[in-house]
Copies of this chain bind each other. A is one copy, B any other.
Amino acid sequence: MPSRKSSIKVGFIGYGTVASGAINILRSQQELIARRLGTRIDIARVADLDIKRDRGIALDKGLLTTDAMDIVKDPEIDIVVELIGGTDHAKGFILDAIAQGKHVVTANKALVAAYGEALFAAASEKGVDIGFEASVCGGIPIIRAIKEGLAAEQINSIYGIVNGTCNYILTKMLEENRDFSEVLKEAQALGFAEADPSLDIGGGDSAHKLAILASLAFGTPVSLEDIYTEGVEKISPVDIAFADDFGYHIKLLAISKRIGDEIEARVHPTMISNDTLLSNVGGVFNAVYIDSEALGSTLYYGQGAGSLPTGSAVVSDLIDIARNIRSGSPGRVPPAAFVPAARKPLRIKPMEEIESLYYLRFMVKDQPGVLSKISGILGAHGISISSVIQQGRKAVGVVPLVMMSHRAKERDLQLALSEIDRLEYVSGATLLIRVEGEDEE
């Protein structure tokens, strides 16, 4: 039933960075939000284990509690915002809130990626909304774009720069010709990278976001385990320089494509042409490029993290749900973008079945016959080479030998590489970077 109640009441579970951003915006933009929504959104209660710390926000101390259940059970609260992170407690609180008939907003990508199906089903069954715009690319309204803006679109592919830390590191490596580890240290000092950066630089964070985006775009469950994930740790300045020679930039991309009734879903460093907009997304910024049937190319760009940008996405979900509360239309858009019964599990291609162009950097002893031996092994596996860069002799014994392949199957390539990497004049494992673009035959 439509409700003309005088305000919408929100409870926060978790009072960290994102919650502070959202609370800041709700307070500073209260009038603006009311002018758009037609009513106020009031902060009814904020729960955190630590309610002593000063967050620099003049919030009435009486609103604070250390018990999340004070929020879940408060009959006055319309929407529960879960911002504690992690999956165990967060999942429990959200399911409890849904069971109490409350709408939910979360920024928890790990939770949505791992348990989205269960949460969405619970929300749909109870007839409440669950908003998770903040879980992917912070403030870029990408979830809303896929669920609503592109509602008429058969989506063909998604290419996302969805991790600001990796993008910052790769941008700095390119612009300043510096080493990965050195730039990572700097990013940590500047607060752009976590003390334990493995989830970011290993690609796991991007995989969480891709699982969510691909699931919405293609109407199929996509689990983390389905996503091939490779991080940026092995990229060195020499690869960035070679990429530049070929007209490419290296980005950590989250890629998902629909090919007939199958989809690909993978996260790895990728070379993309340096005349594309995506390749020019620098620093901590995020962007998602979507190719769809009628619309062709669209791209969405903005800040993917941070207190205020992510907080803004949380508040945009609160406004969206408040509109549903006021017009009596919860569940107006299904959480997974498709009506639950109309979702169709699509097969997710194992990595060895994908086809791509490849950049290969072999480290070889500089001696006659190497090029012919390596290209012979590649050829025997059906992989043909479009260009080669073999640098002149150096004082040191080991030099890079770089090849770009024509389109090839991942399985064939891996078989060839395992053979090549055993050759006595090949030093260490070959570096492989997948290349997105047209094959020039």
Contact = CB atoms under 8 A, between A and B. Distances in A.
Copies, count: 2
Contact of A294 (B25, B133, B319): B25
Interface string A132-147: 0100000111001100
Interface string A25-58: 1001100111111100000000000000000000
Interface string A287-317: 1000011111111111100001101100110
Interface in A154-188: 154
Contacts of A319: 148, 151-152
Contacts of A29: 152-154, 293-294
A328 interface: yes
A76 interface: no
A309 B294 contact: yes
B148 A339 contact: no
A35 B301 contact: no
A334 B293 CA distance: 30
B300 A36 contact: no
Contact of A295 (B36, B150, B287, B309): B309
B338 A327 contact: no
Nearest to A140: B298
Given A29-B154, A36-B339, A319-B151, A296 B301 contact: no
Contacts of A287: 299
A149 B146 CA distance: 12
A202 interface: no
Interface in A313-333: 315-316, 318-320, 323-324, 326-329, 331-333
A204 interface: no
B34 A342 contact: yes
Contacts of A281: 277
Interface residues of A, number: 68
A2 to B, nearest CB: 8
A317 to B, nearest CB: 9
Contacts of A300: 298-301
Contacts of A25: 152, 294
Contacts of A153: 29, 312
B294 A152 contact: no
Contacts of A295: 139, 302-303, 308-309, 312
B277 A294 contact: no
Contact of A339 (B35, B308, B339): B35
Contacts of A33: 151-152
Contacts of A144: 144-145, 148-149
Interface of A: 2, 21, 24-25, 28-29, 32-38, 133, 139-141, 144-145, 148-154, 219, 277, 280-281, 285, 287, 292-303, 308-309, 311-312, 315-316, 318-320, 323-324, 326-329, 331-334, 337-339, 342-343
27 contacts: A2-B328, A25-B294, A28-B293, A29-B152, A29-B293, A34-B342, A35-B339, A37-B151, A38-B339, A133-B149, A144-B149, A148-B316, A148-B320, A150-B312, A151-B315, A151-B319, A152-B315, A152-B316, A277-B277, A285-B297, A287-B299, A294-B308, A294-B311, A296-B309, A299-B299, A299-B301, A327-B332
